[in-house]
Amino acid sequence: MKDVRKKAKELMSGYCRVCAVCDGRACAGEVPGMGGLGTGSAFKANVEDLSRLRLNMRLLHDVTEPELAVSLPALALDLALPVLAAPIGGVSFNMGGKMGEEDYVRAVLGGCAAKGTLGCTGDGVPDFIHQAGFTAIAGLSGRGIPFIKPWEDAELFEKLDKALATGAGVVGMDVDAAGLVTLRKMGRPVSPKPPKKLKEIIGRTPAKFILKGIMTPDEARLAADVGAAGIVVSNHGGRVLDHTPGTAAVLAGVAAAVKGRIAVLVDGGVRTGVDVLKMLALGADAVMIGRPFSIAAIGGAAEGVEKYLDQLRGELSAAMILTGTARAAAVPAGVLA
Ligand SMILES: Cc1cc2nc3c(=O)[nH]c(=O)nc-3n(C[C@H](O)[C@H](O)[C@H](O)COP(=O)(O)O)c2cc1C
């Protein structure tokens, strides 16, 4: 990973500093770029709220080979570890464009598939962002989750149909992208979606549907009520609204509202296997990671992504042993001090 990060630092120069800890400080306000919006406080809160949590160490038990695989029945997914690569689009204007969008997406999706999990793809302007994602997912026989922005009707349904044509069994919408300044600047209409509209959209989609950008228990319940099979507790990596709480601060309440009804995913500030364990203890079924996968893919292509997943697997396994956690599918809240 040291070499991968070194290479990424060169290739992402001017866009991402590849800091020792990816915490949103150095890149505050850099949107487009890899930062958080405005003061960067929502990005920073993701990392801070997670790092504030402490683990209870437990050694008087027989857990030596913890089970990292998880099943997400609501999404009909089985994952070798509870980590997915979050959707990230726009390599040219966010990361410097030293790698093409197609190569980037292929690296993320291919690396994840090789390690028994899934990568997601993003959407935006220009159109080659979602096109690259759809092509890569189709090339992997549907092993990926395409995320679409909350466009107005015609564009939304057209893109949804194309997403379904990739063979993906799960599709998603990042509803929080209604706040993306980059799209607003380009004059492309995205908007919040009322429950009635969402019910219509999800109802006509013959795939499992994930709503990404849920931050409160009431909206989690609404998501389940309108037919979503899963949510991602997410503030879009702090890129859509300054001064939101970190996701780790709201996760327990949101998860409790819908636990067992739909799949609960979360992202924001997850960097290590220890962070993954903390999110699972707060009630997530699995986590998504964003920026570190971008660094791994730019610096090392699919192999970099695989290396990063190996690192996460080792860290998560060690943390589970040291906290007496036998199964990633059933992490008790008492893991947290
Ligand atoms: C450069 C960049 C581009 C992104 N593009 C998308 C996108 O197209 N669709 C989406 O749902 N989320 C997008 N996101 C948000 C990520 O999916 C994810 O929510 C966030 O990065 C998680 O935080 P982390 O990077 O701290 O792990 C983007 C994030 C970044 C940094």
Q: Please report the domains of the chain, with CATH numbers, ordered by start residue.
A: 2-18+29-335 (3.20.20.70)
CA distance 52 to 337: 11
Secondary structure string (H, E, C) spanning 260-323: CCEEEEECCCCCCHHHHHHHHHCCCCEEEECHHHHHHHHHHHHHHHHHHHHHHHHHHHHHHHHH
Per the DSSP assignment, residues forming a β-bridge with 120 are: 145
Instruction: Give the DSSP H/E element, type plus range, for residue 121.
Output: strand 120-121
Q: In the structure, which protein residues have their CB atom closer than 6 angstroms to any atom of ligand 1?
A: 34, 46, 86-90, 94, 122-124, 147, 174, 212, 234, 236-237, 239, 267-270, 289-291
Residue 185: pLDDT band (50, 70, 90) is: confident
Percent pLDDT > 70 in the chain is 99
- Tokens 């997601």 belong to residue: 120
Q: Which residues contact 104 (CB under 8 A, 6 or more apart)?
A: 91, 95, 132, 294, 297, 298
Mean pLDDT of the chain: 96
Nearest CA to ligand 1 atom 4: 88
Peptide bond into 206 cis (omega under 30): no
| CA gap 15, 33 in Å, rounded | 5
Burial class (CB in 10 A: 0-12, 13-18, 19+), 282: buried
Give tens-digit pLDDT for 128-142.
999 999 999 999 999
The token duo for 122 is 């993003």
Q: Which of 88, 174, 295 is the pocket-test mutation for ligand 1 (most atoms within 8 Å of CB)? A: 88
Instruction: Note the pLDDT of residue 152.
Output: 85
- For 19-84, what is the HEC assignment? CCCCCCCCCCCCCCCCCCCCCCHHHHHHHHHHHCCCECCCCCCCCCCCECCEEEHHHCEEECCCEE
Virtual torsion, Cα 140, 233, 77, 327, nearest 10 deg: 120
Entry pTM = 0.97
pLDDT digits (tens, 9 = 90+) for 45-95: 999 999 999 999 999 999 999 999 999 999 999 999 999 999 999 999 999
In this structure, the residue with its CA closest to atom 31 of ligand 1 is 34
Question: Per-residue pLDDT for 181 more than 70?
Answer: no
Tell me the sheet residues that pair with 60: none
Lowest-confidence segment of 78-92, 158-172, 183-197, 296-310 by average pLDDT: 183-197
Mean pLDDT of 229-239: 98
Hey, what are 85's tokens? 């690569």
Task: Kindly give, in sequence order, each residue whose CB lies less than 8 Å from that of residue 176, ignoring residues fewer than 6 positions away.
Answer: 212, 213, 234, 235, 236, 240, 241
pLDDT > 80? residue 123 = yes
Q: What are phi and psi of 213, to 5 degrees?
A: 115, 25
What is the reported pLDDT for 113?
98
Pairing of strands 208-214, 170-174: parallel
Q: Which of 176, 208, 205, 170 is nearest to 193 (CA)?
A: 176
Residue 205 has pLDDT above 70, yes or no: yes
Going from the Cα of 88 to the center of ligand 1, the distance in angstroms, rounded, reads 5
Distance 68 CA to ligand 1 centre (A): 25
- Interior angle at CA 300, CA 131 and CA 287, nearest 5: 70
Query: Looking at residues 145-170, what average pLDDT do you find?
Result: 94
d(CA 4, CA 2): 5
pLDDT level of residue 153 (50, 70, 90 thresholds): confident
Q: Is the pLDDT of residue 200 over 80?
A: yes
**Nearest atom in ligand 1 to 95's CA:** 1
User: Ligand 1: which of 180, 232, 236, 265 to mutate, most ligand atoms within 8 Å of CB?
Assistant: 236
